Structure 1
Amino acid sequence: MMDGTPFPGIRNWDVTKGGKDLLSSKVVAVCPWRKGGEREVSFRNMKSEVMKIRLIIVKTMPEIPKPGFILQFLFLVIGDILFYAEKRKKVKRGTEERVVESKKPSRRKGSATAAGYEEEMEEREKVVCLAKLAEQAERYDDMVEYMKKLARMDVDMSAEERHLFSVGFKNTIGAKRASWRILSSLEQKVTAGDQTGVMIDAYKRKIEDELRMVCNEILSIIAIHCLPLATSGENAVFFYKMKGDYYRYLAEFSTGNEKKAAADQALMAYQHAMVVASSELSPAHQIRLGVALNFSVFFYEILNSHERAYQVAKQAFDEAAAEINSSGDGAYKDSTLMMQLLKDNLALWTSELTGGETSKDDDIDMEG
């Protein structure tokens, strides 16, 4: 103990005004229960060690100090007791609230709780069921909305789900593409300066805006929700093919730089699909054949590379035929349709390459 301190065991006592200022004082206390022996504490900290210091001070006091100090000290000890009693109640209530809150099922995205998983699965199944009903009712706009909702759940789609996703958009955009082609054909028959031609052109532009909106929407969904979630090679090929298809549709009616940009994107998407398909899918796999079919149509219609179109289609057909013939077990029944479509296009393009005439409208592509 140093001289000038009111209590033993405390050094550097600093109270200049007394009374309430005692609560804001800092002291260096001898703490025999702590390693190091001393610690600077503040009476306002209200920590348990402050209580220990004060109690030890009382027990170890060798002489009775002035009454004023004893009274101040007793008030502090009583205040500590009341403070800690109230604090313990608050801590207990807070702990109980946290326990109750922790028992509530988590509603956050990606929750691993069984209830959350079941709820997610129920919603997914409901959306798929509604999409099927919309398809049967031929309400393809509704079907598209349901499948967009499914895609935004950020799930790796099953074969059935991706088929519904593709069919919905195929029917929505297919009607618009057909309308645009009809108007383009009519426009070619109209003489220059005819008022009908002006109306056809305006109507065509309206349809082009609708096509552009649908294509950009599905391309955004594929980029954000489909390709990043595709864990299998089959799904990756499927969505790369879709990406190529919808950029190809944009290139069909676009002009100038817009057409070139769309064609470049379509080319890259189809190339990605072909690379993944070559390593992940067999030559006779339905999806791999679908990529080759649409890629060849892209070369023929968009890039006007007829020989390259023929080569892509012929190579895919020959490789698939060789695998099917070698297996001979009828396991590739679903691939026969794709092979027939490839064969039909090859027949058309052979005629063109040997001097005959063919139309782009006769070329066959396939979604799904």
Structure 2
Amino acid sequence: MTDATLPAVSRSLWQDAWLRLRKNRAAVASAVVLAVLALVGIFGPMLSPHSHATIYQQYVRVAPSFEAYPKAEDILPGFEREMKRARLTGAEPVLEGSRLSVALTAGEKPIDPRVTRYFERSELFSAPQLDLAEDGMTGTLTVSVNRQYFILGTDNLGRDMLTRIMIGIRISLAIGLLASVMALIIGVAWGATAGYLGGRIDNVMMRIVDILYSLPFIFFVILLLVFFGRSLVIIFIAIGATEWLDMARIVRGQTLSLKRREFVQAAEALGATRRGILTRHIVPNLLGPVVVFVTLLVPKAILLESLLSFLGLGVQDPMTSLGLLISEGAQNMRGAAWQLIGPALTLTAILFALNFLGDGLRDSLDPKER
């Protein structure tokens, strides 16, 4: 049999969609951006030298810098303050790299070796070493300078903004994705069942949706928090339990249109079960609008979480999210604009990536494009 007479290999809907998606550069780039941000949110805080909850009282609202803190001009004044606390006198301190040394001279009494405790308690210096002469009247004090890097600066409490943004990416993406998955599963199952079965069942199921629509979102969240306590699980359950209502209506409308199509009637004539028709014919043809709507649900869930955090019902310190960081940054944008710019740019990148990826998935999953 020659190549010309070989039967053509057919592709499934998923294979065809994957090939079209790979040709969409914007969608592929967006998927890469989301994957990178997800990896940063998962592993970034583990690799960061600062914890998201660590407070550096001497570095409150410091500006972003690639240079280590304390700056060179702040090291000697800080050392002199510790010398005064320890009531020590000496020559001019000498700074060599991260080591600072000074020749000490005693007054009327010998130098007490316990003065090193003042430098042990300091947040600027560590590892003090005191070498005294035999009479204890002179000696050399050497300390290490604790250098800290704050590439994106610090917040009002002196916490590293870079680490907190990475934690915010983790929390916001987790809540957005989990809430959207929950809304996707419930909404598609509910809407497809109601639309395909129709009649009295459809009427009852959609009236239940209307009743749930009448419940205020904030009131529903407060009830969940009162009964089950405050936690991240309750937050994404609360968001997912309300966002599936829109999904159910969209899916029902699409199902009402699809169930009158010829391929569905052919499947019914061949004796396919209702479950088989829903899973093999109705739901796959709903993927286009459903996927696009899911990509809009993720940022919406992130914004709803931000609203809850702003009202004191969501993420609480020391944990944080992008929405909470933006809320805090907006209050300090005049004196510390970096607190708003970093989280805002990160959230903007996530929203753009989700929109481009949603458009690409819609085009690749549209059966009309085959």
TM class, shorter-chain normalised? under 0.3
State which structure, 1 or 2, has the greater radius of gyration over its C-alpha atoms.
1
Of Structure 1 and Structure 2, which has the larger fraction of its residues in strand?
2
Instruction: From the two aligned structures, give the one with the greater helix fraction.
Output: 1
The answer to which structure, 1 or 2, has the higher relative contact order (CA under 8 A, 6+ apart) is 2
